[in-house]
Chain A
């Protein structure tokens, strides 16, 4: 607001003054209207962000005042095998999860974009896990992956192989977690895809048909390019959510909700958010936890930047 007023005074051309005045008037109203959010942002987000940046350079146990230690936390991070393992696990989780969820959600959306009988039922059925809390989803997951009573082991035994310790096996724990996460998240991405699909103009399909394109060709040359904007959104959203995965892993791998027990076996399912939470709230190493948070932020920032840069190569926007 202030900036604009000053501009008014300094602008020499009368015509421009008129335009500026109008803009600044609208600008004022705009600022006014967003002020509740702005105040909220400054008080609850910007301030806390800066505080956590400061803490990341301090030794801070929450019970005593933070003590500036420079880069020590970051140094420790670099030499902390559990940090690297949790970073690796996070990346592994993302690499499995994002393509799986995106492709399956797209297939599902295409399938449910037809005129089927009971269409609503199917759409709702896939959306139920999305709105259910993790606790509910995990009960269902437990019915499948419980080593003693679960469906998955029943099946394995019937097929003649040995039962598996799904969540206690270092090699299996992340894929199992990903499978459950895909199941929970797929409905949401499906809905986004459905919206994208319904924006594809019918006449393009008709034109393609006239050219003699079959179902697959139409999908490849019409659907995919036209929903690439939606796909991009889905990719960015999924990546961010997996980097922030916490609750699921906390509940599924922690014994009886014990935060310090989560992330096993042998840290095989320790992800960055969980590690951050443990260090900060269970072990009172808030400075160290803040350093992890900032590293996490930087990684996400870079990934999103790359995704945005790459979108020029494949995302198609209609003019």
Chain B
């Protein structure tokens, strides 16, 4: 009967459909016979707009130089990229080499997803030629990734605001106390009074002395230059509840209390916590290199200098080395091809220069970072040298496998102290306990 035929057709359709579904999950079938010699690797990176184009250009050049390697790219905006990457790793379909935010390198390394690159680095790279290689080293001395570009923080200041307030520009002699003193003169309330005048209202500030934001561009710098910090050298023990941290926190809370520094609720008022400096609502910021992009875009008249000293003369500049990671599951051939890509990226002057032109990061290769092309490109800030000088007292954000989690615990407690909902002692004590719990839970099961 006719209906039978319809049924058969229907089943045929469903079979095809099912096969199609099955096919979806398995994208990596063998490539055609034409270039059987070529190794195809997948390269994953997070990105946006102009960076994508540049990346593609550099990939094309790489393929020209390495006819035996073919690169397939996978990219997505930042937050989606890492979510997708984690699920891909879970499913065994992750790229052979991917770009990782510096703060996530240890997350992959300690969970066995990143390939140990120590031998290859020892063999092929002259460590003295590069910035930031050591920032990816775990406590055991192994290298898990190679930097793609370096973020390092300096003090950004708005020259126009300083001129208007008649305050001298910050320089290398500044301590955090100097910063607060100058900041007070640069903090203006709605009636035009500055923070060191009587009658100043700290709850209706129009212009802040310093915008202060979360860990990287906020508390970590102050804590460390006061001799404190979050984790000890093993990166498995919390050292939060210390007198040094207490002193640093007192300095910060006082600044927020007086309206000189933005507190977390002030930042809530801006659509983005990044915006007070480029929108000229704050005279100073602690900023990583990438922040020059937003500042240049809005045309702020600014420059940078090294971050202030703590009370004992100690300095600290936080570093995030965004890096290439090679998939631990990649076959030998693919891992080797991926290594070619990493070498090409860091060691070729042209590549480093072209990428530096985007202005996203300090180049990894010292010769390029110290060249005129980077230091005197004509774009603001004039004192780009300050970023390089900062390497002398640079350190990581105590990055380990559970970084996001302990940052959340610490940040939540610190914010309560910043908003005066908890005393500094309470906040430090609670943060210490909660962070230690996070660390213990992870490392006890390793």
Interface residues in chain A, defined as those with a beta carbon under 8 Å from any beta carbon in chain B: 28, 32, 35-36, 39, 43, 59, 61-64, 142, 146-149, 163, 165, 167-168, 170, 255-261, 264-267, 278, 281-284
Contact of A265 among B83, B111, B421 (CB under 8 A): B421
With A147-B268, A168-B419, A266-B412 known as contacts, the answer to whether A62 contacts B87 (CB < 8 A) is: yes
CA of A113 to CA of B231 in the docked complex: distance in angstroms? 64
Q: A283 to B402, Cβ gap below 8 A?
A: yes
- Residues A264 and B415 in contact, CB atoms below 8 Å apart: yes
Question: What's the least CB distance linking A223 to chain B, in Å?
Answer: 43
Q: Is the CB of A281 within 8 A of B83?
A: yes
Q: List 18 A-B contacts (CB under 8 A).
A: A36-B14, A39-B14, A39-B18, A63-B89, A63-B111, A63-B112, A63-B113, A147-B265, A163-B203, A167-B268, A255-B264, A255-B272, A258-B214, A261-B214, A265-B416, A265-B419, A266-B415, A281-B86
Whole-angstrom distance between the alpha carbons of A260 and B408 in the complex? 6
Q: Mark B20-56, 1 if CB is under 8 A from A, else 0.
A: 0100000000000000000000000000000000000
Task: Tell me whether A168 and B265 are in contact (CB under 8 A).
Answer: yes
In the complex, chain B residues whose CB is within 8 Å of the CB of A266: 412, 415-416, 421
Return the contact of B411 from the options A36, A61, A163, A261 (Cβ within 8 A). A261
A168 to B262, alpha carbons, bound, how many Å?
Answer: 14
The answer to whether A255 touches B86 (Cβ under 8 A) is no
Q: A255-B214, A261-B411, A267-B412 are in contact. Are A148 and B269 (CB under 8 A)?
A: yes
How far is A259 from B408 in the complex, measured between Cα atoms in Å?
10
Taking A147-B269, A284-B111 as given, write out 16 further A-B residue pairs in contact, using a Cβ cutoff of 8 Å, ordered by the A residue number. A35-B10, A35-B14, A36-B14, A62-B90, A146-B269, A147-B265, A148-B269, A148-B270, A149-B269, A163-B203, A168-B268, A170-B421, A261-B408, A266-B415, A267-B412, A281-B86
> CA–CA, A62 to B107, complex, Å?
12
1/0 contact string of B254-292 vs chain A (CB within 8 Å): 000000000011111111111000000000000000000
B383 within 8 A of A: no
On whether the beta carbons of A283 and B412 are closer than 8 Å, the reply is: no
B residues sitting closer than 8 Å to A (CB atoms) are 7, 10, 14, 17-18, 21, 79, 83, 86-87, 89-90, 107-108, 111-113, 203, 214, 264-274, 402, 404-405, 407-408, 411-412, 415-416, 419, 421, 445
| Chain B positions within 8 Å of A168 at CB level | 264-265, 268, 419
Identify A256's interface contact among B113, B273, B408, B415, CB under 8 A: B273
Do A264 and B412 touch across chains, with their CB atoms under 8 A apart? Answer: yes
The answer to whether A64 touches B412 (Cβ under 8 A) is no
Which 3 pairs across A and B sit closest by C-beta, in order of nearness? Answer: A148-B269, A168-B265, A62-B90
- Residues in chain A near residue B265, CB distance under 8 A: 147, 165, 168
Q: Smallest CB–CB gap between A83 and chain B, Å? A: 14
Nearest Cβ on chain B to A296's Cβ, whole angstroms: 20
Q: How far is the CB of B186 from chain A (nearest CB, A)?
A: 18
Contact B404 A283 (CB under 8 A): yes
Q: A63-B89, A283-B402 are in contact. Are A259 and B79 (CB under 8 A)?
A: yes
With A63-B86, A256-B274 known as contacts, the answer to whether A283 contacts B264 (CB < 8 A) is: no
Give CA–CA (A2, B87) in the complex, Å. Answer: 38
A282, B101: Cα distance in complex, Å:
14
A260 touching B404 in the complex, CB below 8 Å, given contacts A39-B14, A62-B90: yes
- For residue A28, which residue of chain B has the nearest CB? B7
Least CB distance from A3 to B in Å reads 18
| Inter-subunit contact A265/B415 (CB<8 Å) | yes
Bound complex: CA A311 to CA B196 (Å): 65
- Contacts A32-B7, A267-B412, A284-B107 known; A257 to B79 CB distance under 8 Å? yes
